[in-house]
Every structure is written in structure tokens, then in C-alpha cells.
Amino acid sequence: MPTRTRTPASRRTLRRRLTADAGLLVVAAAFVLPLAWVVLSSVDARADLRVRLPDSVTLAHYEAVLTPDITVTPLLNSLLLCGGGTALTVVCAALAAYPLSRFRSRLNRPFLLTILFATSLPITAIMVPVYALFVRVNLIDTHEGTILFFAASQLPFAIWLMKNFMDGVPKELEEAAWTDGASPLQSLLRIVLPLMGPGVAVVTVFSFVMMWGNFFVPFMLLLTPDQMPAAVSINEFFGNKGTVVYGELAAFSVIYSTPVILLYVGVARRLGGGFALGGAVKG
């Protein structure tokens, strides 16, 4: 049976494919190794910086961090801050994106470009005036003030995302509702938002994750230790002289990541569902 010889073009294609696969494996390892260290070190009695299978499995690290002062109160504070900020962001983004998507104006493009510019502003550049403003209006060291700033910092990109998703909902559906006497607000709540459920889920997850991992904002705006979220309290595992309690840090990191994972799993089905609008305006 004659052997099949590879042409120079097929050999080049094979080399490129192998190079691409090797590059993807390197990128995957860069993500997997830190996660593997966190999971394995959380149950390793002799946890250190090495990624290794534990010689002896223990839950002592979880028992050490599962206390009201270390984990429970900071996590509740994080849920309050990030949940409130996310809800405020989604509501305001929907109300702001609706007129940008449905009504044409000469100011739409400049406004969207301004929003895009606002997303590139670093938080550190505006924290000093924000801190001075919050002191004057008595919002410093309050959860309410931190929630407002969380929402304001995420709102520009949330509006941009929400507007793009809203453009995918046919306007004819709203016009039919308007003919039946529905107001723009009713059509937004009863037609547009239910049909763009995956888009709302994307904005919700993105906003929550960005707030959940934010260390700098609550560190600057909150002063009382009992009000600090978990993103700030994780700093307590790093000692003043460079000492780190690796096992407890890993265990806290696993617990700290759990709400975000649960949120993603909860909306994953909607994220993969897409917009089921086929045939919605036919007939």
C-alpha cells in the first residue's frame, strides 16, 4: 500500500497548528496553576508557594478562617456592597440605554463617546476629589456612599453594553405595544428587558465581578473595620514582615470566590441561550 507523503504546504499547516496548540497550552497553564495552588494549598497541612499534592489533607485552614471576624462579616459586607451596587448599576444602565437605543439624536454619538472615555479613567485619578466630596456630604465610612460610588464607576461600561444588547430587540414589538396604549416605561419593563435577558445577565455578572474584586475603593471610603468587605480583609493574611499564612489565605480565597462562581453558574444557562427573537415580528 503506497505511503502518503505530506506536501510542504500541509507540513507548514501542521507546524502552525502545533505551535498554536502549544501556545494555548501555555496560556491555559498560566490560568490553571494559580487555581490549582489555591485549591490544593487550602487542604495542605504544610502549604507553601509550591503547587503540589498535599502529603496530608486537613480542613484546619477552613476551620481557622470560618469565624465571624475573618470571613462571615466581611462576606456579608461584600454581598451588601456588591449586590446593592450591581442592582443600582443595572437599573440605571437600562434606563439610560433605552433612549440611546430607541431615539435618534445628534447628541447620541457624543454621549456614547463620552461614556467610552469615562471607562478608561483610572479610579486612582478621581479618588482624591471623591474622598473630599464624600467627607463634605457625610458619605465617608458608609455603605451607602460606597454603593453609590461602585455603581457610578461601573455605570459607563454597563450603559455601553446594555445599549448594544438593546439594539438587538426589534423596535416593531414595542410599536405594537404602543398601539395598545403601553407607555415607553411599560414597553421597556414588559417587552425589551425580558427579551434581552442574556444581555441583562452579562451586565449583572460583569458589574458584580468587577465590584467583588475591587480593593481600592472600599479601602479608601470605609474606615471602620466592621464595615470592610472581604476584598479588603484578605489583606490581613499578609504580615508586616513579609510573612504569609498560605494555607489560611488559600482557604479564604476559595470561600471568597464561591459567590462569584455561584452567580455565574446561576446565569450560565441564560448566557448561552442567546436572543430567541426568530420569527417574533413575522405575520
Q: How confident is the prediction along the chain (283 residues), in pLDDT tens digits per residue? A: 455 556 777 777 878 888 888 888 888 888 888 888 888 988 888 888 888 888 888 899 899 888 888 889 999 999 999 999 999 999 999 998 888 888 777 877 888 788 777 777 788 788 888 889 999 999 999 999 999 999 998 998 899 889 888 888 888 877 787 877 778 788 888 888 888 888 888 899 999 999 998 999 999 999 898 899 999 988 888 765 567 788 888 999 999 999 988 888 887 765 654 444 444 444 4
Let me know if 245 is exposed, middle or buried by CB neighbors in 10 A (0-12, 13-18, 19+).
middle
Tens of pLDDT, residues 218-269: 999 998 988 999 999 888 887 655 677 888 889 999 999 999 888 888 877 6
Half-sphere exposure of residue 128: CA atoms within 13 angstroms, side-chain side? 2
Residue 238 pairs in a beta bridge with 244
Q: What are the DSSP calls for 189-244, one per residue?
A: IIIIHHHTHHHHHHHHHHHHHHHHT--HHHHHH---GGG--HHHHGGGGB-TTS-B
The pLDDT value recorded for residue 281 is: 47
Note the pLDDT of residue 274.
47
Distances (CA, A) of 216 to 42, 73, 191, 233, 271: 26, 19, 38, 12, 30
**What's the pLDDT at 56?**
83
197-211 per-position pLDDT tens digit: 888 888 999 999 999
For the chain, the C-alpha Rg in angstroms (whole number) is 25
Q: Phi/psi at 30 (nearest 5 deg)?
A: -65, -30
CB atoms within 10 A of CB 180: 8
Q: Which three cell numbers stand for residue 151?
A: 455603581
Q: At a CB cut-off of 8 Å and minimum separation 6, what does 47 contact?
A: 40, 41, 54, 61, 246, 247, 250
Cell matching residue 105: 439624536
Strands (E), the chain: none
Q: Are 114 and 158 in contact (CB under 8 A)?
A: no
Q: Kindly state the cell numbers that stand for 267.
A: 446565569
pTM of the model: 0.81
